[in-house]
Structures are given as structure tokens and as C-alpha cells.
Structure 1
Amino acid sequence: MMTANKNSNWWNKTVKAVLATGLTVSLAACGQAPEAAKPAQPSQQATTQPAPAKETKQPEQVLRLNNFTEPLSLHPGMITDVWSSNVIFQTFEGLTRIDKDGVPQPAIAQEIKASDDLLTYTFTLRDNAKWSNGDPVTAHDFENAWKWVLDAKNGSEYAYQLFYVKNAEAAFSGKAKPEEIGVKATDDKTLVVQLENPTPFFLELTAFYSYFPVNTKVAKEHPDWAKDAGPNYTSNGPFKLTSWDHKNKLVLEKNENYWDAGTVKLTKIEMNIINDANTELSMLENGDLDWAGAPTGNLPLDAMQTLKEKGLLEITPKAGTYWYEFNTQQKPFNNKKIRQAFALAISRQDIVDNVTQGGELVATAVVPPTMFAENTQGLFKDNDVEKAKQLLAEGMKEEGYASADKLPPITLSYNTEEAQTKIAQAVQDMWQKNLGVQVKLENQEWNVYYENVKNGKFQVARMGWTGDFNDPINFLEIFRTKEGNNHTGWESKAYAELLAKSSKEKDAAKRKAILQDAEKLLVDEMPVIPFYFKSTVYAKNPNLKDVVISGLGNAQYKWAYFE
């Protein structure tokens, strides 16, 4: 266990009352700051010199976190997971940045102009925008980075996030040349972007990591620049990566070349990689960490109820949905009725009440209610066991099975983590009890697990989605084709046509109705089983201020400090 630094005394001074309750694992999300030193009292004896004033020690501005899992990549064009993005959002910056109020603001772009038809954006970059090695950030760095993502041979799973740019999708599929993509650096400081259709959330997209720049010079001379820390890892955000001890720890330090470095108070961020929630919580308790839980991990489920009763949890809604994915290319889940049966045979209410316990809302739809308010009611009935049995029987007959007990055992896969294990065990019990099927559980470390999911080596796999920007298209477009982040193998021409129609609809109410029709089609086909709408649950050192957690669940440490 790491040695506590001088920020760590907060624990002993703020939660003795909680420790006295006998909690095995305990923490505090709030408490009193350490009592200020009392002024020295004058001596009763006469003195010729006044007592010297005591020097007030300033808190060390070093933030210690647990990133939970080794990042899959630290190249902004290759990222899809929260553990990688938690690093990238600190080390890189786009044309815009989401501010403390959730609104996109100019970042590397100092000035943004949009045409009246909202089809052309002109971004003027800051004169003092620099890379961590001192190179100037140029418009060419943005143009080249975007085109790199849109080059299919590079394997960016998030390439579709740039399909709002004119000819981007055509170039990705080989139907247009790279020079036809609607992004052009007209000089070092000017980037002109043309869009396929008016996109009201485009300035939110430019704050997302798929739109981040890459140092063109470094990437050309060192193609593997993003695989390790060192002089070739250049970034343009508030912090820079100075150490990456793989599967153990990452260290970020303040980037003195960042254009807004004067705002950044933290001098260092230490990100441990510990894949165990109980250890993480114990380290918070011992003063060896300043944060536990979201956005990169979960608090121990066994401690949740007691911690909730003691008021020690921070819980906020998040625009995310937890789901299981079917491999629709393999039997028996190539059959829609069988997929529907497995979805209806789950009691989501039991799971959120007795397993996760983090204030989640039952989800019987895919898009969170932060985007479709109607989805608090959902699109189907939770725990509809009788209908599930009926659908299973019909689907089994269609596939040539005599009865459910003739179905080969189903393998449910998930990544190694306490919360995932307990949810999977609950689902295993429900499916065996309600449907009479045998379910085998299989867990793997995240990197191995996700590689198998991407390659279709699963039957049912735990996954989910947290919004990248606050619009329902971000959830629905995942399933537009079999490519990218759609691991299910399911696609529908009618579904894709609805999404295409929505992109051309300028009336907001009509666009929403089209997207809701698309969601109804998706949920009826059931390539994924929605479980619950996520929440952000964490606890922290109360002396840590101004960590900004967005409604999408991302953390920003640009403004954070210890008092």
C-alpha cells in the first residue's frame, strides 16, 4: 500500500464517528476541514521579542486516483473505453471544451464562426496553443488527425463520430478521396469544416476525443508515439503524461505549455491501476487515495447500503445505459423471439434495489431519460415472466428445439469486477428459474474480454453505453451498421433509413419522433437487453474541490485543487 502524503490526514480528522459504527469498509464524502492552528499565546514572563507567526503550510496539489484498468490505448483516435478516456480528457484538448455547466466553450479554438445555414464552421486557433514539447498546435494537426481516424485501415472504432463532416463516411468506405473530406486547414491557424447536414450538437462533438488533434510531426517520425510515456508522447491539454508503468500506474504532471496553464492548480495526478473495488475503498480510508468509485470504477456493493444510510455517497444521474449484448450471428440468439424472452425474464427492479444499489433507474428502453424523458416509463414490461416463457417456446419451435431444457447451456460473459459478477449471478439465477435454461458464467480481464467481444467470441456479453454528447443519436447510431461499436452483428435497413431521415429533419419535434420510432424498432428487435440507466456514484477527500463530473459521467481535473 502506498504511503500517505500530507493530503491524507483528512481521513482521521473527519470520519472517526463513522469508524466507530464498526463498518468493515468505510469512507467519507464530506466532513469538516482540519481545525485551523490556534494563534500562539503570549508567555506569562516578560519577553523582549514577540512570538514568531506560525507559517501556514499549503496543501500539496497532488491528486491520487485509481484508474481501475489498464488503458486500451492513449491515442485519441483509438479510444472507446472510460479508462483510456479518463486519461485523454486530462492530457488532450479539442477545438472546444465542455465547461463546468456542461456547455461547450472555445478551447484550442479562440474564435468560432458558423454560416447561417450551419453547414460551415470556421475555427481560428489560439496563438499560444502549444504541444507539451513546445511545438505550436496547428490547424493541420486537426485536419490530419481527423483524416487519420477516417482512414479505415487504422481501425478506429469511433470513426462514425466524424461522419457528420461532409464526405467523411464516403471516404471511410472508400467512395471518396481523403482530400474530399470537408475539413481543411487554410493556414496554420484556420480550420474550415463543412458538414453533411446542420448538426446542432457539433460544438459538443469537437470537445470529444475522436476530434482531438495529434502532433503531425511527431506522429510522422514516431508512428508508435502513443504506446508509452516519454519524449514522443506529446499532448496539448492541461496535463502531460510523464510515466506509464503498464498495468500498475500512470503519472500526469501539469503541462507548462498549455495555453491556460494559469488556471491549473494541480501539479500532478497519480493514477493507480488496481482492479479491485475493496482495495480502492480501503486506500481511500487509509488516506492513500483521494477518490473512489466513478467514473472509472464502482464502490463495493456490500458497503453501499450502510454508506448510503450514513450519507457518505455522492450520487448523480448519468446519461448512460447498462445492457447485455446478444451475438445475433449465433444460435439461439439469431432468433428475435428468443432474444425477447431472455430480456423479459429479468427483474431489473430487483437488480437495482438489491445488487447495484446506486440510485439507478430501471431501463426498459435504450436512450436515457435525460434525452427522452418518456423513457422513465420504457417500451416494455419489466420481469414479464409469462410472456417470456411464451416467446421462448415459440422461438424454440422456430429453431427446431423441442423444449427449453434441450437448449445447450448459454454462456454469459463479463469482465472481471465485483459488480459485474454479482449482476451476472443474479441474471443466471433468473434465467434458470424463469426460463429453465442452463447458464454458464465466464469472466475475463477487461482487455482480453473486450477483444473477444469485438471479435464476436461470445453469446451474451455485458456492456453498455455512456453518452459522448447529449443527443439520442449518440445511442442509436451505434446500431446503424455492423461496424464500430456494434458488436451484436445486428443491422436493419429500415432502422438505418430512419436515422438517415432524422439527420435531414430540421424541425426538432419531428426529428425526435423519427428517432423514437427508430428506438422502438431497435427495442423490438432486442439485439441488446437494457437493464438500468446509470448513475455516477463516488466518494472523495472532502478537501478536494472542483473536480467537474459531467452529466455524461466524465471527470475533468483542469479546475481541481486541494484546500
Structure 2
Amino acid sequence: MTPARFLTLLLLSATALFSWAQPSSDQHINRANTSEPESLDPQLVHTLPGMRVVNDLFDGLVHRNPEGKIVPGQSTSWTTSEDGKTWTFKLRSSQWSNGQPVTADDFVRAWQRAVDPNTGSPYAWYLDMMSVQNAKAITKGEAKPDSLGVKAITPDTLQVQLEQSTPWLLEMLVMPVLYPTPPGVLEKHGQNWTLPENLVTNGPYSLSEWIVNEKMDLAANAKHPDHDKLAINSVSYLTLPSANAAFNRYRAGELDMTLDIPAEMYPKLSKELADELHKTHMLGIEYFAFNTRKAPFDNPKLRKALSLAMDRELITDKVLGEGQMPAYTFTPPYMSGMPKMTTELQQARDERLAEARRLYKEAGYSKDNPLQFTLLYNTSEARKKIAIAAASMWKQNLGVKVTLENMEWKSVLAKFRAQDFEVARASWVADFNDPVSMLSIFESDSGSNKPGYQDKAYDKLLSQLNKPEANRQTLFIELEKILAESAPVVPLYYYVSPSLVNPKVKGWYDNPRDLVMTRYLSLKK
């Protein structure tokens, strides 16, 4: 390791970049969550509703402050070798909520658990994307978890060994799959370790109560080293899948922050509650996923026909009307490092529909022999409107007969895991601000690959992104071209997050992943 190439960031200098909320007495905040968290286990959580809560309960090595800067979390500083393959992190003195010290071994155990096939982590692929040594071999069952390139040098020193340099590694470290796990707790309680009576955390808050499908109550963790800096002493996450229900609770004073608003009320609220309405452009996309592993959607011509037949502008402008952008590529065009490009989805409508009908016919379908399938979506007013609009477009433009089916989000996730669907509504929000965070979910082995898409050429191009000589922008375009041609998904629109925030809430900030940390919030007296 060459000292001249060390990259060291001290906690003292980093904390100057942001301000914690000032401590106050007995401050409680009520926040909306769009669904029940699928898990509070850092290695198993993989949706935004779960991550919102887990980010309050656990601290990783680093996190993002309100300005979007990477700042120390459980670490105080880090260094990297000259070749960028060895990273060393110094940990701060800290305790778990049960009083045990947080050590480097807690990170080693968590990372090994993440890639262990027996864990079934939806984010096991993430460590391979980071290029952590042996991650890919372990997830494939070809190596043991303890061969992963992570080790505890001392109780307060963690070393990470990469197979190749990953310049954006720090950006990737914010994900919950890399958060530590408490010693002895999983061994003692098994799957029940995340129940309120068993859960041990190292973040600024601890879980005090969980009423399923109603709310989760968190209280400030007295063992956290920044406990004295917290303004919010307790927080409740109310499970509110309905934007109308959340809005009603907000107007009644029972909710301080929403995550959405009823789409039809946006024009009115943007005038009447202009000071309370916030709109954030997110690094995320709404899409329909085809089950590419089962007929008839193993046929790329049919998939592309359905994608071309979608009038995205009608969805963004007429169905939603909250400033969403139509999606013509999977990666948002405003994402850092994404080059400009166009696809067939941006053709004039007549040309686009003519091509859609040609492909539909070549796939063996016609008005006399129409395609029939079920479109699955998770229950909500907005999702229902989009599903109805999509079904209408497919019928009008191609003659397709679509049956709509809705269920709770957890049930939809179970359908994805079992590949038990035909076409389903899905979404993705980037883990960090780089196109690779969008495009990597279509890698054949990715746990986030909802369509079950497999393409060796795509995988090969994706693997080249980390190489020093790679022309990343050219690769991004080539990857998007493959997706446009094979159409494993129907891109619909890029997210905006219109939310209502009570004026008494201080410290609220725009977050492109819709993950605002409670630790930075406070209430006006």
C-alpha cells in the first residue's frame, strides 16, 4: 500500500459538511410508508419501504448527508491502495443497542452472510458488482463465504479486497445489504431476530413496537454515539398504501410527512399548499416486467411489440400529471454519466405503431388470434389507473386482451420470486448515481432481475464497465440498445416524488432515492 496514494477522510472534517438537527426535548414525528417493510434484516431488505426504516435502525460504514455527500457512518476514515484494490476502514467507538461494542467482525459476518446462498439475499449480486474478491464464486456456490475479500485486521479496522478497482465504491457502501449485524443475536433467535423484543441495532433509533399493517414505532437509541445530537426522540412509520388515506391523515394532523399525493389533486395542492408540497426528481423508473422465461413472453418480438404500442406520454400527462417524464430508456437521461441517445420508442406515433403491429403479427398474433394475458400490479389508486390505461392502449393499438389482477406488495414480490406471473408492474430506484446501478439489474444472476432476463452478450458488456480502459458511455449506450431490442421490460416513466411536509418539520431535504433520514429532521417549537 503506497502512502502517497492514500485517500483519507477524517470524521471531524466530514462532519463540517453537514449539520445535525439540534437536540430538543420530546420531539415525535409521524411519517408515511407506502407498504409494510418486507424485512428489517439488512441483508434481506430490498424495497424502499423497508430501507426507510432500516436506515434509521442501522449504520453502515458511510451514508449520504442531506447535500448528497458521502460522510462517515460507522467508520471515521478510510484509505485505498495505489491500485485501488485494497480499502481499509477505521471504525469509530460505538455500541450496539444492547451495549456490546460494534467491531469489524460485525461487518465481516454481515458481508459473508449477504453472499451466502443459504441466506437468499436479494442483494447478493451487489457485492459482485462492487468487485469484492470471490463474491461471484460464493454466490454461485463455488467457494465458501469465509473466502470473501473482507476481514477484520483489528476490532476497529476493516479491510476490503477487490478483484479490480471500483472507483465508485464509496457510493455503493450506503446500501443496507452492507450494514453490520449484531454478534450472537441471529444465532440465538434465527429468523425472529428482527422482532421488536429481539432486534439489536447500531443506528440512531431502535424498534419499540411493530403493529403489522398499521405502524412501526422507533425510539432514539441511547447507545448511539450521536444520540445527543438527535432532535427527533421518536418516530412512527404509518403503513399507508393509499395516497388518499395518507392525504386525509395529513390534513387531520395525524401525519407530518407523506410520500405521495392523490394525482388528481396535484394541480389544486400545488396552488393551495405550495409551501408544503415538495417535488423531487428521482433516480428511478416505473415499468412492466415480462416473464421472459415462459411462453409467450420468451419471444422478444412480442415483448418489443407491446413496448412500442405503449403511449407513455398519455400516462405521464393525462393519467398522472405530476411532472413525471416518459421513459424511452431504462436509465434516466439526467443520471450522472448517461450519454444522450434515442430509441425506437421515440419515433413518431404512426411509425412506432406500424412497427409494433408488424412485430405482433410476426409473433403469431392478430385481431382474429389476439394475445391474452394477465397484468399484475400492487394495490393502489395510481397503479390501478396506469394498469387500466395500459390495457386500453394494448387493446386499441394491437387488439390485445388484458385481464387485470391486483394484490398487496408482499404478495407481488412472492410472485416475482417464484416467477409466477405473465406481465407485472415493477419499479427500480438506483442505489447510487451511476447508470451501472440501473443497468446491472438485468445481469443474468442479479437478484433484482424481475423479468428473469438472460443475455450473454449483455452480461459480457456489463462486466467490462469496471475495467480501467473501458469507454463507459459507449458501453451504456450498447447496453441500452440491447434492452431496447430484446425488451425484457416496458419502460413507462421516471419517478418524481410529490410529497407533503408539515411546515413545522425542519431539515427535510430532496433525496433522489426518496430516503430521507430521520436523524437530520427536527420540529419547530
Length-normalised TM-score, structure 2: 0.90
Instruction: Please state if 1:205 is matched with 2:168.
Output: no
- Aligned-pair CA distance for 1:332: 2.5
- Aligned-pair CA distance for 1:117: 1.4
Instruction: Please state if 1:236 is matched with 2:198.
Output: no
Instruction: Select the residue among 444, 450, 459 that pairs with 1:496.
Output: 459
Query: Could you say what secondary structure the match of 1:503 adopts?
Result: coil
Give the Cα separation in 2 of the matches to 1:377 and 1:329. 29
Amino acid at match of 2:222: E
Query: Could you say what secondary structure the match of 2:344 adopts?
Result: coil
Give the Cα separation in 1 of the matches to 2:388 and 2:340. 26
Instruction: Please state if 1:313 is matched with 2:280.
Output: no
Q: Counterpart of 1:539?
A: 500
Instruction: Select the residue among 257, 260, 266 that pairs with 2:232.
Output: 266
Amino acid at match of 2:158: L
Give the Cα separation in 2 of the matches to 1:305 and 1:431. 29
Q: Counterpart of 1:352?
A: 316
- 1:169-184 correspondence to structure 2 within 5 Å: 169-184=136-151
Give the Cα separation in 2 of the matches to 1:275 and 1:547. 22
Give the Cα separation in 2 of the matches to 1:482 and 1:185. 28
Query: Could you say what secondary structure the match of 1:143 adopts?
Result: helix
Contact residue 302 and residue 363 of structure 2 kept, 8 A:
no
Amino acid at match of 1:364: Y
Query: Could you say what secondary structure the match of 1:84 adopts?
Result: helix
Contact residue 377 and residue 425 of structure 2 kept, 8 A:
yes
Instruction: Please state if 1:215 is matched with 2:179.
Output: no
- Aligned-pair CA distance for 1:193: 0.3
Give the Cα separation in 1 of the matches to 2:178 and 2:408. 29
Q: Counterpart of 1:436?
A: 399
- Cα distance change on mapping 1:321 and 1:224 into 2, 3 Å: same
Instruction: Please state if 1:165 is matched with 2:128.
Output: no
Instruction: Select the residue among 490, 501, 505 that pairs with 1:529.
Output: 490
Aligned length: 497
- 1:394-473 correspondence to structure 2 within 5 Å: 394-401=358-365, 403-473=366-436
Give the Cα separation in 1 of the matches to 2:496 and 2:428. 12
Give the Cα separation in 2 of the matches to 1:387 and 1:333. 23
- Aligned-pair CA distance for 1:389: 4.8
Alignment gaps of 5+ in structure 2: 1-23
Instruction: Please state if 1:88 is matched with 2:54.
Output: yes
Contact residue 36 and residue 212 of structure 2 kept, 8 A:
yes
- Aligned-pair CA distance for 1:376: 7.0
Give the Cα separation in 1 of the matches to 2:337 and 2:180. 35
Q: Counterpart of 2:343?
A: 379
Instruction: Please state if 1:288 is matched with 2:264.
Output: no
Contact residue 162 and residue 168 of structure 1 kept, 8 A:
yes
- Aligned-pair CA distance for 1:383: 7.5
Instruction: Please state if 1:336 is matched with 2:300.
Output: yes
Give the Cα separation in 1 of the matches to 2:479 and 2:436. 10
Amino acid at match of 2:229: T
Amino acid at match of 2:501: K
Amino acid at match of 2:515: N
Q: Counterpart of 2:6?
A: none
Instruction: Please state if 1:300 is matched with 2:256.
Output: no
- Aligned-pair CA distance for 1:180: 2.2
Tell me how large the CA RMSD over aligned residues is: 1.9
Flag the structure with larger Rg. Answer: 1
Query: Could you say what secondary structure the match of 2:287 adopts?
Result: strand
Give the Cα separation in 1 of the matches to 2:314 and 2:34. 27
Alignment gaps of 5+ in structure 1: 1-57
- Identity of paired residues, percent? 33
CA displacement, residues 414-457 of structure 1 (integer Å, 9 cap, x when unaligned): 00001100111111111111111111111011111221122112
Query: Could you say what secondary structure the match of 2:492 adopts?
Result: strand
Q: Counterpart of 1:68?
A: 34
Q: Counterpart of 2:158?
A: 191
- Cα distance change on mapping 1:398 and 1:381 into 2, 3 Å: closer
- Aligned-pair CA distance for 1:59: 7.8
- Cα distance change on mapping 1:226 and 1:417 into 2, 3 Å: farther
Query: Could you say what secondary structure the match of 1:555 adopts?
Result: coil
Q: Counterpart of 2:113?
A: 148
- Cα distance change on mapping 1:148 and 1:450 into 2, 3 Å: same
- Cα distance change on mapping 1:70 and 1:78 into 2, 3 Å: same
- Aligned-pair CA distance for 1:394: 4.3
- Aligned-pair CA distance for 1:250: 0.5
Give the Cα separation in 2 of the matches to 1:421 and 1:375. 33
Give the Cα separation in 1 of the matches to 2:270 and 2:337. 26
Amino acid at match of 2:278: E
Query: Could you say what secondary structure the match of 1:64 adopts?
Result: strand
Q: Counterpart of 2:10?
A: none
Contact residue 344 and residue 387 of structure 1 kept, 8 A:
no
